[in-house]
Amino acid sequence: SNHPHMAGAAVFLIAFLESLAIVGLAVPGWLLLVGIGSLIGGGTLNFWLVAFCSFLGAASGQIISYWFGYHFQDKVHHWGWIQRHQKMLHTAEDFFQRHGFAGVLVGQFIGPIRAVIALIAGVLDMPPKKFIMAIVIATVIWAPVYLMPGVVLGAALTFEKTQVWVLVGSLIIMAICLWLLG
């Protein structure tokens, strides 16, 4: 909050690292993005600028990961840092083979899958145009969705006591409805 002009660069870097193959497993990006979202909700940062920087970072990380998979194909399986995560790699491969384009879209929202889905899409030869279309759609949705819990939290900190109860009650009702729908 002391340096809001640096927020865009920080958000880009967080989303980029979280979306980069394997590296994303070690980056607590969702937690950092929730924290940044709370600054948006508190009025310190601009939502659209932060969401755009998050989109750019995530899409860039995914495209670079895809390029590595597409360029190196089966050689990827023999890299040391990939061999330590073979189980997750096989899970992501199965997920991608079952769902293809939709798997890239949905994979963006599943933490461990997000860290390898682009790499797998490249290894398994998904056409580049199709991949870029899927990742742009996914990250355009992903960026604001990942910021929203923090935005709500930040806004709630400025609420009066009665407004907090309305918010908590609404969230509980929504959770119950989602559970019943599931």
The predicted-structure confidence for 55-73, as pLDDT tens digits, reads as follows: 999 999 999 989 988 888 8
According to DSSP, residue 115 is labeled T
Q: Which pLDDT value is given to residue 82?
A: 66
Q: Which pLDDT value is given to residue 128?
A: 93
Residue 25 tokens read as 């497993």
Q: What angle do CA 63, 66, 67 make, to 5 degrees?
A: 85
Whether residue 54 contacts residue 146, with contact meaning beta carbons closer than 8 Å, is answered with yes
The CA distance from 106 to 34, in Å, is 20
pLDDT tens digits along 80-132: 666 676 777 777 778 888 888 888 888 788 777 777 888 888 888 889 999 99
The CA distance from 34 to 54, in Å, is 12
Q: What is the mean pLDDT of residues 123-150?
A: 89
Q: Which pLDDT value is given to residue 166?
A: 77
Of 66, 62, 64, the closest CA to residue 54 belongs to 62
The CA distance from 97 to 159, in Å, is 47
Q: Which pLDDT value is given to residue 55?
A: 94
The CA distance from 3 to 149, in Å, is 22
Question: Which residues 6+ apart lie within 8 Å of 93 measured at CB?
Answer: 120, 123, 124
Instruction: Tally helices (H) and strands (E) across the chain.
Output: 9, 0
| CA-to-CA dists, residue 89 to 22, 42, 123, angstroms | 10, 39, 11
**What share of the chain has pLDDT > 90, as a percent?**
17
Between 56 and 147, where is the model more confident?
Answer: 56
